C-alpha cells in the first residue's frame, strides 16, 4: 500500500486467524441474517413462516478475536446471539443455491452482540438498527476453519453458555434458510466479494450480559469461542 496516495493514514484491514495457517483472512464486510431459526423468531415476537430472509450489516472493524469484550455504551440491555459464520472466498451475483457452497472459504463461531434496548427503540419508531448492531467490537468470532478441514456443516449442535449456565441450544439443521440459500439470497441483493462474512442467525435463548460474564459457545465440527465481558 502506497501511503502517499492518501491524505491520512488508512486504517488497518480487519482480519481473522485461520486454523492451521499463519496467513489471515481479510474481511471486506459483515452481513447478518435476521431470525433464521423459528424458535428465535417467536421469542422476538415474529411469525417464523418461511418468508424471504432479511439482512442487516455490521462494519468490518466490528470483528474481534479478543478474549475480552467491553460492555458497550448507551445500553442497559446487552444481548448475546451465537451464530455460524460463513467466510466467502469467491464472490458473485445472482448465485444459485446448488453451487453457492463453491464460493465458501470456511466457517467460524461468532456472536452477534446486540444493544437490545436500542434495537427495540429503533423498531418502535421505524428507524434503522445500525447503532443497535454495528457498534465497536460487536462481532466476536473464532478463528476460521477452511472447508478442507470441516466440510460444509449443515447439521450439528450450536450452543452458548454464560458463567457455565446453558442459555442457547439448537441445531444447524433448524435454520429456516440453509447456508446455500442464505448465500444465494444475499447475492441477489448485492454482489458478494472475497472477504465477506455472513452471520447466519441464532437459535432461541438470547439474553442479557453484564460486566464480568464469561461467555462460551460452540458449533459441532467447527469450533469454540470464549469471551469475557469487561
**pLDDT, tens digit, for every residue of 9-54?**
999 999 999 999 999 999 999 999 998 997 766 666 566 666 788 9
Superfamily of domain 23-229: Fumarylacetoacetase-like, C-terminal domain (3.90.850.10)
The predicted pLDDT at position 48 comes to 62
Cα distances from 76 to residues 71, 72, 94, 128, 154, in angstroms, run 10, 9, 40, 19, 35
The share of the chain scoring above pLDDT 70, in percent, equals: 95
What distance in Å separates the CA atoms of residue 186 and residue 225, rounded to the nearest whole number? 26
Average confidence (pLDDT) over 85-103: 97
Q: Which helix (H) or strand (E) holds 210?
A: none
Mean predicted lDDT score pLDDT of the chain? 94
Cβ within 8 Å of residue 188, ≥6 positions away = 93, 94
pLDDT at residue 38, as a whole number: 79
List the one residue out of 126, 148, 149, 130 whose CA is nearest residue 138: 130
pLDDT band at 199 (very low <50, low <70, confident <90, very high): very high
The full length of the chain comes to 230
For position 78, what pLDDT does the model report? 98
pLDDT of residue 47: 63
Q: What was the pLDDT predicted at 4?
A: 82
Judge residue 74's burial from the number of C-beta atoms within 10 Å of its C-beta, 0-12 exposed, 13-18 middle, 19 or more buried: exposed
139: confidence class by pLDDT, cuts 50, 70, 90: very high
Amino acid at each position: 500500500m502506497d501511503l502517499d496516495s492518501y491524505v491520512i493514514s488508512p486504517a488497518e484491514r480487519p482480519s481473522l486467524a485461520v486454523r492451521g495457517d499463519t496467513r489471515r483472512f481479510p474481511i471486506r464486510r459483515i452481513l447478518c441474517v435476521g431470525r433464521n431459526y423459528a424458535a428465535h423468531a417467536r421469542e422476538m415476537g415474529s411469525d417464523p413462516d418461511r418468508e424471504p430472509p432479511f439482512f442487516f450489516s455490521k462494519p468490518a472493524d466490528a470483528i474481534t478475536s479478543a478474549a475480552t469484550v467491553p460492555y458497550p455504551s448507551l445500553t442497559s440491555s446487552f444481548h448475546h446471539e451465537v451464530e455460524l459464520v460463513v467466510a466467502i472466498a469467491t464472490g458473485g451475483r445472482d448465485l444459485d443455491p446448488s453451487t453457492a457452497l463453491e464460493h465458501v472459504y470456511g466457517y467460524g463461531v461468532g456472536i452477534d452482540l446486540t444493544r437490545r434496548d436500542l434495537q427495540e427503540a429503533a423498531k418502535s419508531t421505524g428507524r434503522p438498527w445500525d447503532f443497535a448492531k454495528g457498534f465497536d467490537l460487536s462481532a466476536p468470532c473464532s478463528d476460521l476453519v477452511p472447508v478442507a478441514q470441516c466440510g460444509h456443516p449443515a447439521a450439528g449442535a450450536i450452543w452458548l453458555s454464560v458463567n457455565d449456565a446453558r442459555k442457547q441450544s439448537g441445531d444447524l439443521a433448524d435454520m429456516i434458510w440453509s447456508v446455500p440459500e442464505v448465500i444465494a439470497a444475499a447475492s441477489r441483493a448485492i454482489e458478494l466479494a472475497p472477504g465477506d462474512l455472513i452471520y447466519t442467525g441464532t437459535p432461541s435463548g438470547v439474553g442479557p450480559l453484564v460486566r464480568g460474564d464469561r461467555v462460551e459457545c460452540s458449533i459441532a465440527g467447527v469450533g469454540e469461542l470464549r469471551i469475557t465481558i469487561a
